[in-house]
Amino acid sequence: MPIPTDFFWKDRLKASGIHFGISLVIALLAAALVFGLWYPYPYREISGGRELFFIVVMVDVILGPLITFTIFNRTKPWRELRRDLAIVVLIQLGALGFGLWTVFVARPVHLVFEYDRFRVVHAVDVPAELLSRAPPDVAALPLTGPTLLSLRPFKDANEKMDATMAALGGLSLSARPDLWQPYSVAKNDIWQAAKPIADLKTRFAAQATEIDAVIAKTGRKPETLAYLPMVGRKSFWTVLLDPVTSEVLGFIPLDSFGN
């Protein structure tokens, strides 16, 4: 006996809705992992983690239930229907796994003081052949969000020239484990390179309200703060610092390079 048309579509909608609900729960768990560990604020914006994740999840969350809606049919033998649904789930999980892996390898691993600026280093930026040259007390590719590092002075002019040429070829200084050192070692260099926050407000008077809002979040008085520019994946930001301790206190989506 054929199934009435209205029940036919209700069954498909119900199956698709259940699939969507399960997919949404999995997506929320994945979001907690991505934004809680790999891309904490502000790196979800600086490093493009939010865009990468939503592309992966939206395709996965929408596509899986749509396929279920298309293939679900109670007139099929149970073994055949179960096989079809299992294939959909496997494809969906495979796509989600691949997407999360892509987000994982692109994750930020270090915020590095690079002589006169900060630079965000991502796992994919660090050459695998140089990982063994990281200092023993530094986790080369941490799993729980970016750590603070600085770059040691060059040993001689030849090393500086070689590193500069490599940087021109696409390997930034901050992505070289052989140049890393603990952040605290560069405290005096950071103090000398940092600029008073008053200078930032003078240069960007039109953004004074946004700057004041970030300053307020630090709980510090403006005269006790300094700043340095920061290079992200596709944009430039500004880092707010305590000029005495070099503690990173805040981030502003503002390009403070130049004069």
| Closest to 173 (Cα-Cα) out of 115, 123, 131, 237 | 115
Separation in Å, CA 83 to CA 17, 20, 238: 19, 19, 53
Instruction: Give the residue-averaged pLDDT of 7-19.
Output: 78
Lowest mean pLDDT among 70-79, 127-136, 249-258: 70-79
Distance CA 113, CA 119 (A): 7
| pLDDT for 24 | 86
Please name the helix (run of DSSP H) or strand (run of DSSP E) that holds residue 237, with its range, or none.
Answer: strand 236-241
Pair type for strands 248-252 and 236-241: antiparallel
Report field, pTM of the whole predicted structure over 0.75 = yes
Read off the pLDDT of residues 209-229 as tens digits, 9 standing for 90 and up. 999 999 999 999 999 999 999
